[in-house]
């Protein structure tokens, strides 16, 4: 029964990640009707919302796009930044959604931002306590490691409403700014949902890791 339980929780994040990759790959090959790059769309949405102070830059990698509230800067991965695909428009708009959240002091974003240094600390030391606990068979060290991981799980949980709200705002902005034609609606919706579900996969993967560690701890 335990094996089936863990298999179930293992499959869910894999399905979520597969959904993300499928939507992104499909719509990164289809041009948007407006022939606008991700950078173009991001600049238009930001300026329409009075966010001229936010800069837009290019970063290497795939789906490495993110908004940095500390320096008011949006990083778009190279393809999103320079290509005019449906995926480029959707992902760029999603990051603008975070910038608008920041402007409006969206509570969950504020909480998540405040947690970043704490999570950086706990994620760095959790594995050390867990390894030492397993090697030494000292249960208390494993417990400390699990508690530190649970801080990261809380961070992932708080991230979920932030990401779903950013996708919701992105769709609203694309419609309001006239940047999403009828032909692009289906693909844009799928990419925006996929962008948010990336974090569902991350949350479930971390939850699975913690459940595995609890099982190891209980066996010992």
Active site (catalytic) residues: 95
Which residues make beta-bridge pairs with 73? Answer: 55, 68
Residue entry with tokens 């293992």? 10
Tokens of 32: 């948007």
């Amino acid at each position: 029964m335990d094996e089936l339980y863990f298999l179930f929780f293992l499959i869910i994040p894999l399905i979520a990640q597969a959904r993300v990759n499928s939507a992104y790959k499909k719509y990164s090959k289809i041009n948007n009707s407006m022939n606008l790059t991700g950078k173009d769309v991001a600049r238009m949405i930001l300026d329409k919302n009075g966010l001229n102070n936010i800069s837009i830059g290019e970063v290497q990698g795939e789906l490495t796009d993110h908004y940095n509230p500390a320096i008011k800067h949006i990083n778009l991965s190279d393809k999103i930044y320079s290509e005019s695909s449906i995926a480029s428009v959707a992902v760029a708009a999603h990051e603008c959604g975070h910038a608008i959240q920041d402007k409006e002091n969206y509570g969950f974003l504020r909480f998540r931002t405040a947690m970043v240094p704490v999570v950086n600390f706990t994620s760095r030391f959790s594995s050390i306590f867990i390894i030492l606990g397993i090697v030494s068979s000292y249960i208390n060290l494993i417990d400390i490691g699990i508690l530190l991981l649970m801080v990261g799980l809380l961070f992932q949980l708080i991230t979920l409403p932030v990401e779903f709200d950013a996708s919701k705002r992105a769709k609203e902005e694309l419609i309001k700014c006239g940047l999403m034609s009828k032909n692009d609606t289906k693909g844009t919706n799928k990419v925006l949902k996929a962008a948010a579900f990336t974090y569902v996969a991350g949350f479930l993967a971390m939850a699975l890791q913690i459940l595995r560690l609890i099982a190891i701890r209980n066996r010992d």
